[in-house]
Amino acid sequence: MSADHWVDQIKWDDKGLVPAIAQDYQTGQVLMMAWMNRESLLLTEHEQRAVYWSRSRAQLWRKGEESGHVQKLHSLHLDCDADVVLLKVEQIGGIACHTGRPHCFFKCLEAGQWLEDVAVAKDPKEIYNHE
SS3 string of 61-94?
EECCCCCCCCEEEEEEEECCCCCCEEEEEEEHHH
pLDDT 10s digits, 58-94: 999 999 998 999 999 999 999 999 999 999 999 999 9
Parent domain of 82: 6-127
Query: Residue 38 domain-assigned?
Result: yes
Question: How many structural domains is the chain composed of?
Answer: 1
Query: Residue 1 domain-assigned?
Result: no
Q: What pTM was estimated for this model as a whole?
A: 0.90
Residue 63 CA to residue 49 CA, distance in Å, equals 8
10 Å Cβ neighbour count for 95? 22
Query: Residue 117 domain-assigned?
Result: yes
Strands of 17-24's sheet, edge to edge?
30-37, 17-24, 85-91, 71-78
Kindly report the CATH number assigned to the domain that includes residue 55: 3.10.20.810
